[in-house]
Every structure is written in C-alpha cells, then in structure tokens.
C-alpha cells in the first residue's frame, strides 16, 4: 500500500483491506504483465501519481509519453496504451473500436481481465492522490471511528 493510502487505513480498515485484496487479484491475473506494467506506468504519468517506477527499458520509458510517434512499441502495446489513455480521460467516450483493438490481441476474457486491473489500478492511484491532498495535512485532525 502506498503511504497516502496508508492514511486511510485507520479511518477505513475494512475498505482498505478489500481494496488491497482486489488490487492483488486484479494485477496477478492480467494476461500480459509486461503490457499491463506499461499501461500502469502511463496511467501514473497522466495522473501525476508518484507510483514506483515501472521496470521498463530506459529508452521505452523515455518514449512512453510519445508512444504514438515511437517505433519502440508493438501493435498490441499501442492498442492497450490507446485504450488506457481514453479510459483515463473518459470511459463514456470509449468505443467499440477501442475494445476491438484489444480483442485483436487477446480473448474476451483477456480484455475483461485487463480492464478490471486497469480500473482497480486507476482507482487506487486517484484515491492515493486524494488521500495525500486531504489527509496528509499534519495540522488537520482526522476523526477515527471507534
């Protein structure tokens, strides 16, 4: 659990545990961990989240922000990065073409599993950012349920 999410544990211990379990299951079951790690790194970049650095080749890490113009990424990685970016900006604007691009590289179950892991990862990052902004103020006292 990130430090910011640790701020939530005293306030919501059961929810914190459930979120950690969901994240562990979701990320352990992604069909292609390397592609997912690439998408996790891009998610952290776009959200401004201080996630631990992805274990990526330095050249690919440097090119990640401009993946559309780089020849360092495969068609499969591009489809997943495109889906990830659109998902982060507006889930409602995702199209069948986004899903079809993922289906070109995996089964329906693979796509569902990837999306579930992306959802949990994005949620944890956003929650961590909010917790850091709201709960990390040392002058503010949080009420801890008995």
pLDDT band at 26 (very low <50, low <70, confident <90, very high): very high
Over residues 109-129, mean pLDDT:
95
Neighbours of 145 (CB within 10 A): 7
CA 115 to chain centre: 10
What is the CATH topology of the domain spanning 3-135? Answer: AhpD-like (1.20.1290)
Residues 39, 118, 64: CA angle, nearest 5 degrees: 10
The answer, yes or no, to whether residue 2 has pLDDT greater than 70, is no
- Token pair for 139: 């002058």
DSSP 10: T
Give the model's confidence band at 119: pLDDT under 50 very low, under 70 low, under 90 confident, else very high: very high
Look at residue 1 in the predicted model and tell me its pLDDT. 44
pLDDT at residue 3, rounded to an integer: 66
Question: Which pLDDT band holds residue 144 (cuts at 50, 70, 90)?
Answer: very low
Q: What is the mean pLDDT of residues 106-125?
A: 96
Q: What is the rounded distance in angstroms from the CA atom of residue 73 to the CA atom of residue 19? A: 31
d(CA 100, CA 86): 14
The pLDDT value given to residue 51: 78
Distance CA 92, CA 40 (A): 20
- For a pLDDT cut of 70, what percent of the chain falls above it? 91
Give me the pLDDT at residue 43, please.
96
Alpha-carbon gap, residue 123 to 70, rounded angstroms: 28
Structure confidence at residue 8 as a pLDDT band (50, 70, 90): confident
| Residue-wise pLDDT tens digits, 34-93 | 999 999 999 999 999 987 777 888 899 999 999 999 999 999 999 999 999 999 999 999
């Amino acid at each position: 659990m990130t430090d910011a999410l640790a701020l939530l544990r005293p306030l919501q211990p059961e929810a914190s545990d459930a979120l950690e379990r969901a994240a562990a299951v979701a990320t352990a079951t992604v069909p292609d961990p390397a592609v997912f790690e690439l998408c996790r790194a891009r998610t952290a970049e776009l959200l401004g989240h201080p996630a631990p650095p992805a274990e990526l080749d330095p050249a690919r890490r440097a090119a990640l922000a401009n993946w559309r113009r780089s020849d360092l990424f495969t068609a499969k990685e591009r489809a997943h990065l495109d889906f990830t970016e659109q998902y982060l900006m507006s889930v409602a604007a995702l199209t069948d073409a986004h899903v079809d691009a993922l289906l070109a590289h995996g089964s329906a179950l693979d796509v569902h599993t990837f999306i579930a892991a992306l959802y949990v990862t994005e949620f944890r990052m956003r929650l961590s950012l909010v917790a850091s902004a709201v709960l990390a103020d040392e002058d503010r006292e949080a009420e801890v349920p008995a």
